[in-house]
Amino acid sequence: MPDLATRYSIQRPYPQRKEAPEQYRVERCGVRTLEKQLESDRGRIINSAAVRRLQQKTQVFPLEHNAAVRSRLTHSLEVQQTGRFIVRTIFDRLGQGASILGLDGLERATESLVEMACLMHDIGNPPFGHFGEAAISRWFEQTLPQLPPFIHDDLSEPEWALRAELLRELRSFEGNAQAIRLISQLQKLNLTYTQTACILKYTRCATEPKPAKGEALDYLRKKPGYYFSEREFVSHLQSVLDMAPGHRFPLTYLMEAADDIAYCLADLEDGVDKGILSCERLAQLLKEQFLALREPFGDGDAPHFSGKCFAELIDFALERSAQESINKEHEFFVWMRVKLVHPLVNHAAEAFIDHIGAISEGSLNRALLEDDSPCHSIVETLKRVAIRHVFSVAEVETLELQGYRIISGLLEHYKPLLMLPMEAFSDLCRGGSRGLLIESRLFHRLPNKHVKAYLTLVEQVPVLEDGSRLGETVWERYCRCRLLQDMISGMTDQYALDEFRALSVIGA
Ligand SMILES: Nc1nc2c(ncn2[C@H]2C[C@H](O)[C@@H](COP(=O)(O)OP(=O)(O)OP(=O)(O)O)O2)c(=O)[nH]1
Ligand SMILES: [Mg+2]
């Protein structure tokens, strides 16, 4: 079994130290140095604009005015807390055994890595959450066939192949892949590779096809985890941390479990807070859903969860809330959390320890909580009730349609920039604007940082299998599409709405 601790490295893309790479490993640099470097990562992350922008991005409810309802930022803070709880539970359980896993003395470092991964895990998400991702992907899917070098060009065989892969990538915008791009190229946070690896949730490059069910590591590769533009960064990260391609960094499993535990209850609480469901109705739905999920396991009509019948536990939370005179809903969720979070955290910690071999290798092909246990059924129950009874109500769907309209509308406004021939766009980048009435004005609205990232990427024309280079026009157009995706996904909900209104000449 690979020793977990050998994966803890303080190496960064832009090193500030002069030592040879072996000195970056915790066995050589020592735990104190590692902790100091991770403290520096914390500062870089907490002070980043990408984290601040989460405060105005949708978790479930787009453009929400009620600040008590979760945004991506408040959700991420809850994930951070849950992540810390899981790490502490693992170390408490391990006790003296931490040294067997090579984790001796690494509790603080592990806690910091997981906490910061949790805080950052959603930074690549576009405005309007899931629907934002879908809107970007769909717009590109419909528009790419109209873009000049993508529809006609005199290309060699290998160029055709890569062009097709780049098009596949541009059709599938992914928040997780965008997060890797943000850290490495757009914000250049220069985090330790170890810290960045904790949020590399999926391990497939977006140019590769989705694996078929049953294929090796199909779960870890089910969504794009990084873009072609970051392939060299990721490949370097993998070699620094001894990660095989397609495999995960061990602590990423903890970030994923913390996210699952945090949002499954929180989304329902927000639904109740917004008056979409009453606690009584929710309690009934949860009991029914849990029974239905446990049926194939034959544990009867009172399946046990953490030594108690699940229905009893819900009724207990309901009773406690009935005794509360002022904030009944709050009381209900306090008790739900008290009764559910501990067992779920314990289960995640146990699964981490039980599967430490596969986890150290990064080959466990599922989420920690995804087994056939009652704990898994609880998470599934909460998620399914949210999907059926919160996300799909008319109010939420209307807001999602508005988000969709805003994102596709914005991309449509910026489309003239994508249609320009390469030479005219380079002219714009050099400050020229002759004859480009609309395009020059649109260009001036692009964030400087994103234009700089585009200019850097344009220079990195990929080398093909046969040693030749990809045609410049195709590569440049890929970079320009990426630029537009960077710009749109970097917006907050409110900023996207304001920008859409401004460009559409609609008043507030
Ligand atoms: N409004 C709405 N929210 C949804 C829907 N499906 C899931 N959500 C919420 C549930 C969670 O609070 C949140 C999860 O968002 P993410 O985009 O991060 O997805 P998740 O982490 O499950 O998947 P990932 O593996 O990161 O792609 O979105 C939906 O159809 N509508
Ligand atoms: Mg996510």
Confidence of residue 455 (pLDDT cuts 50, 70, 90): very high
Q: Is the CB of 59 under 6 A from ligand 1?
A: yes
153 C-alpha vs ligand 1 centroid, how far in Å?
39
Percent of the chain with pLDDT over 90: 81
Residue 80 to residues 10, 74, 88, 261: CA-CA distances in angstroms? Answer: 21, 10, 12, 11
Quick one: tokens of 263?
């949002």
> Does the structure show a pLDDT above 60 at 301?
no
Better-scored residue on pLDDT, 207 or 466: 207
Q: Is the CB of 122 under 6 A from ligand 1?
A: yes
Smallest CA separation from ligand 1 atom 24, residue: 176
Confidence of residue 4 (pLDDT cuts 50, 70, 90): confident
- Kindly report, residue by residue over 250-291, the tens digit of the pLDDT: 999 999 999 999 999 999 999 999 999 999 999 999 999 998
Mean model confidence pLDDT for the chain: 93
Confidence of residue 231 (pLDDT cuts 50, 70, 90): very high
State the ipTM, two decimals: 0.94
Q: Give CA–CA dist 91/88, Å, rounded.
A: 5
| Burial of 176: CB neighbours in 10 Å, binned 0-12, 13-18, 19+ | buried
Smallest CA separation from ligand 1 atom 9, residue: 60
pLDDT at 230: 98
- Kindly report, residue by residue over 122-152, the tens digit of the pLDDT: 999 999 998 999 999 999 999 999 988 776 6
Confidence of residue 403 (pLDDT cuts 50, 70, 90): very high
Mean pLDDT within 413-436:
93
Percent of the chain with pLDDT over 70: 97
What are the sequence ranges of the domains in the chain?
A: 4-127+175-252
> Does the structure show a pLDDT above 90 at 188?
yes
Helix (H, G, I), strand (E, B) or coil at 350: helix
φ, ψ for residue 226, nearest 5 deg: -155, 160
pLDDT at 55: 95
Q: Which residues contact 339 (CB under 8 A, 6 or more apart)?
A: 306, 308, 313, 316, 317
Q: Is the CB of 259 under 6 A from ligand 1?
A: yes
Mean pLDDT within 346-356:
96
Mean pLDDT within 76-95:
96
Whether 267 and 276 have beta carbons less than 8 Å apart is answered as no
Whether 122 and 76 have beta carbons less than 8 Å apart is answered as yes
Mutate to test the pocket of ligand 1, among 64, 128, 263, 382 (most ligand atoms within 8 A of CB): 263
Mutate to test the pocket of ligand 1, among 58, 63, 125, 130 (most ligand atoms within 8 A of CB): 130
Q: Give CA–CA dist 392/231, Å, rounded.
A: 37
64 C-alpha vs ligand 2 centroid, how far in Å?
19
Query: Between 3.90.1150.10, 1.10.3210.10, 1.10.490.10, 3.30.70.640, what CATH number should domain 4-127+175-252 receive?
Result: 1.10.3210.10
**Ligand positioned closest to the Cα atom of 261:** 1
Confidence of residue 302 (pLDDT cuts 50, 70, 90): low
Confidence of residue 197 (pLDDT cuts 50, 70, 90): very high
Please, how many CA atoms are within 13 Å of residue 437, restricted to the half-sphere of its CB?
A: 0
Quick one: tokens of 148?
């000049």
Smallest CA separation from ligand 1 atom 21, residue: 259
The enclosing H or E element of 135 equals helix 129-143
**Ligand positioned closest to the Cα atom of 58:** 1
Helix (H, G, I), strand (E, B) or coil at 126: coil
Better-scored residue on pLDDT, 336 or 304: 336
Q: What is the DSSP letter of 211?
A: P
176 C-alpha vs ligand 2 centroid, how far in Å?
7
Cβ count within 10 A of residue 508: 6
130 C-alpha vs ligand 1 centroid, how far in Å?
6
Confidence of residue 459 (pLDDT cuts 50, 70, 90): very high
Atom of ligand 1 nearest to the CA of 386: 10
CA 502 centroid distance within chain: 29
pLDDT at 434: 83
Better-scored residue on pLDDT, 308 or 199: 199
Q: What is the DSSP letter of 124?
A: T
Mutate to test the pocket of ligand 1, among 391, 401, 402, 493 (most ligand atoms within 8 A of CB): 391
**Strand ranges (DSSP E) for 237-365?**
304-305, 308-309
pLDDT at 306: 63
pLDDT at 307: 58
Q: Give this prediction's pTM.
A: 0.95
- Kindly report, residue by residue over 379-397, the tens digit of the pLDDT: 999 999 999 999 999 989 9
**Ligand positioned closest to the Cα atom of 367:** 1
Smallest CA separation from ligand 1 atom 1, residue: 60
- 41-58 burial, b at 16+ Cβ within 10 Å, e below that, comes to bbebbeebebbebbebbb
Atom of ligand 1 nearest to the CA of 176: 26
Mean pLDDT within 53-61:
93
- Kindly report, residue by residue over 31-41, the tens digit of the pLDDT: 999 999 999 99
Q: Nearest Cα to 73, choosing from 45, 44, 42, 51?
A: 51
Please, how many CA atoms are within 13 Å of residue 351, restricted to the half-sphere of its CB?
A: 25
Whether 279 and 285 have beta carbons less than 8 Å apart is answered as no
Mutate to test the pocket of ligand 1, among 57, 58, 59, 60 (most ligand atoms within 8 A of CB): 60
State the Rg of the chain over Cα. 24
Q: Give CA–CA dist 134/171, Å, rounded.
A: 10
pLDDT at 190: 97
Whether 359 and 253 have beta carbons less than 8 Å apart is answered as yes
121 C-alpha vs ligand 2 centroid, how far in Å?
7
Whether 176 and 124 have beta carbons less than 8 Å apart is answered as yes
Could you give the residue numbers annotated as active site? 75, 121-122, 259, 441
pLDDT at 111: 98
> Does the structure show a pLDDT above 80 at 153?
no
Helix (H, G, I), strand (E, B) or coil at 105: coil
Q: Is the CB of 177 under 6 A from ligand 1?
A: no
Q: Is the CB of 130 under 6 A from ligand 1?
A: yes
pLDDT at 6: 80
Write the DSSP assignment of 17-66 as a string of letters: S-S-GGGGBHHHH-HHHHHHHHHHHHHHHHT-HHHHHGGGSBSSSTT---
Atom of ligand 1 nearest to the CA of 256: 21
- Kindly report, residue by residue over 469-508, the tens digit of the pLDDT: 999 999 999 999 999 999 999 999 999 999 999 999 876 5
